[in-house]
Amino acid sequence: MNGFYTGYIGPEKFELMPKRFPNNHRLIGLINENGNYDLKFDFKWPMNIAGKVLIRFVILTIIVSLINGNWILPITLVIF
């Protein structure tokens, strides 16, 4: 890890988090039946909750805008 990451390394699993700012994500590796690691990238708490809330808010905003007949806002939100 050479001082760049903190976390847990075990025989079946590892979980690494960067030691630099912003350190709001983590890398998780689980060993599969072939002996290789399946990697998963996700955000740490509270960023994972904030991301899910933001996605739901954007989807709700798109639906309400389409119902009201406003097509510009949903197109802009989908593109960006």
Q: Are 39 and 27 in contact (CB under 8 A)?
A: yes
Q: Residues 51-58: what's their mean pLDDT? A: 86
Q: Residues 43-65: what's their mean pLDDT? A: 82
Q: What integer best gives the mean pLDDT of the chain?
A: 82
pLDDT at 3 > cutoff 80: no
Predicted local distance difference test score (pLDDT) of residue 1:
55
Rounded Cα–Cα distance for residues 78 and 66 (Å): 12
48 vs 4, higher pLDDT: 4
- Pick the closest to residue 39 from 7, 13, 11, 4 (CA basis): 13
